[in-house]
Amino acid sequence: MLVNPLSLTDFTLDGEYGSQGAVLEQVGINHFRLTLGTAPNHPTWTNRPQFILDRNAKGNRLKLDVISPVPGGGHYPMNEYNYSWSYDNEHWHPIRWEGSSPETNTFLFPEFTEDVVYFGHQVPFSPEHLERLADGWRDDPRVTVHELGRSLGGRPVYRFEITDPGSKIARNDRGGHYVVNTHPGEHNAQWRIIGMMHWLLNDPQAVPFLERTICHFVVMMCPDGPSHGWYRVNEQGVDLNRSYSLPAADEGNQAHESYICQRDLERLIAAGSRMATVWSMHTWEGAVEPILNPGPESDAPPRHWSVLRELMQRNDPHGYVRPLHIAEEPLGKADGWNGGPQRQFGGAGVLCEGGGALLTKEENLASGEVIMRSLADFYR
């Protein structure tokens, strides 16, 4: 018999990783049932199951039944992707669902060897983790940390600017790239962005690129999502990739955090920044899939972009990234970050989907490095 089996009081459902509206019940020894809640204003959008075991995990093997409150699993089923767990919030282990049902499914964890366990969607990423990374980046002269505003939950929304501060090229003569993640629960995409940043800050081949380029990264548009298990929305219940405003940012008619970021992009361009690309980072099934939206004023012929496609394939020996291709809808969605910027400013944008098949933090970081290295080679 277990001396200290898990109890309900060992779980936290509203911490760094949480699941708004979820109800946890004990079924048996180390066997629990988690009935999920739904996203704000979306009764068919199931929140992601996430929690922290604050204590007493060591020596126990958790069985967790997860129940969707929506018949059929809802519009975005809880089991679309795999999940991960960690002892230290740094090193993550993938865990698969035991079955295929989007309504009732189970996780069987190994016997834990530490007392504290973190668990969440894809490879979890949180605003607290981003703050820890930002603390290190603030000491790097190549990185400028911009607080664009505050989320509805009061958390800072950051843009990280990376360039060579000693470059002899005037700022407005340098090319620019703006990379943003809109959906708060698409954590693999967030790690992909971190991978892009890691390459810029750690690979000597990035040095000449940063002399002539300014890169901008919004790693997490909605930092309120992870503690609530929201997949696509903010506190207003608005899908943040369906809240780009044309002809310009409009505080009264946009999701709060999307407005903050669009206003930031507008100010950069109004100040003379030359954005070569705007990237909208997401996760769906399979390998990472970059999809080019050429934009209404793009004068690059298709063969020109084929060079970038070839560079990505050359820089990707493990096949993390699918070949770049042109979008079926070249302008993208007018209300989305994969089309709105191109319609507003012209130029090129990339809807970067996929990555759901990458199960580890390391693979997701590597996929971002492939993309950033290839952009640097392309704009050599």
Give buried/exposed letters for 165-199 (b at 16+ CB in 10 A, else e). Answer: eeeeeeeeebbbbbbbbbbbbbbbbbbbbbbbbbb
For every residue of 126-158, DSSP letters joined together read: -HHHHHHHHHHHTT-TTEEEEEEEE-TTSPEEE
Closest CA to 296 of 321, 245, 260, 330: 330
Q: What percentage of the chain's residues is helix, strand, coil (to nearest 5)?
A: 25, 25, 45
Residue entry with tokens 């996760």:
283
Q: What string of H, E and C letters represents the secondary structure of 269-320?
A: HHCCCEEEEEEEECCCCCCEEEEEECCCCCCCCHHHHHHHHHHHHHCCCCCC
CATH fit for domain 8-121, picks 2.170.150.20, 2.60.40.3120, 3.40.50.1820, 2.60.120.260: 2.60.40.3120
pLDDT of residue 296: 61
Tell me the H-state helices in the chain.
127-137, 187-202, 207-211, 256-270, 302-314, 340-345, 361-378
Tens digit of each residue's pLDDT, the chain (380 residues): 567 999 999 999 999 999 999 999 999 999 999 999 999 999 999 999 999 999 999 999 999 999 999 999 999 999 999 999 999 999 999 999 999 999 999 999 999 999 999 999 999 999 999 999 999 999 999 999 999 999 999 999 999 999 999 999 999 999 999 999 999 999 999 999 999 999 999 999 999 999 999 999 999 999 999 999 999 999 999 999 999 999 999 999 999 999 999 999 999 999 999 999 999 999 999 999 999 988 665 444 445 888 999 999 999 999 999 999 999 887 889 999 999 999 999 888 999 999 999 999 999 999 999 999 999 999 88
Strand duo 23-28 + 92-95: pairing? unpaired
For residue 258, the SS3 value is helix
Centre a 10 Å sphere on the Cβ of residue 325 and count the other Cβ atoms it contains: 13
Centre a 10 Å sphere on the Cβ of residue 62 and count the other Cβ atoms it contains: 22
Instruction: Give the total residue count for the chain.
Output: 380
pLDDT of residue 3: 72
Where in the chain are all domains bearing CATH 2.60.40.3120?
8-121
pLDDT of residue 299: 45
- State the maximum Cα–Cα separation within the chain, in Å, rounded to a whole number: 71
Contact 62, 30 (CB under 8 A): yes
Contact 337, 280 (CB under 8 A): yes
Residue entry with tokens 């390998």:
287
User: What kind and span of H or E run contains 326?
Assistant: strand 325-326
Q: Which residues pair with 64 in a beta bridge?
A: 32, 107
pLDDT of residue 137: 96
Angle value at C-alpha 130, between 204 and 360, nearest 5 degrees: 70
Fold of the domain spanning 127-378: Aminopeptidase (3.40.630)
Where in the chain are all domains bearing CATH 3.40.630.10?
127-378
Closest CA to 29 of 11, 50, 58, 4: 4
Angle value at C-alpha 145, between 280 and 188, nearest 5 degrees: 35
Residue entry with tokens 């980046």:
137
Distance between CA 357 and CA 74 in Å, rounded?
Answer: 22
Distance between CA 36 and CA 366 in Å, rounded?
Answer: 32
